[in-house]
Amino acid sequence: SQFIRDYLYIPLGGSRGSHSRYLFTIFITFFLCGLWHGASWNYVLWGLYHGMLIVAHRSFVALGTRGFPLLDIPITVKRLLMFFFTMTGWIIFRQTDLTQLFHYFTLSPFSDSDQDRIHALFLGVKVAIYSLPLWLHSFYDLRLAHVFHDRPLRLQIAQTLLATACFIMIIISRSYQPSDFIYFQF
What would the DSSP string read from start to end of the chain? -HHHIIIIITTTTTT-S-HHHHHHHHHHHHHHHHHHH-SSHHHHHHHHHHHHHHHHHHHHHHH-STT-GGG---HHHHHHHHHHHHHHHHHHHH---HHHHHHHHH--GGG--HHHHHHHHHHHHHHHHHHHHHHHHHHIIIIIGGGGTT-HHHHHHHHHHHHHHHHHHHHHHS--S----GGGG-
Is 37 catalytic? The answer is yes
Selected catalytic residue, list 19, 37, 50, 137: 37
Catalytic residues: 37
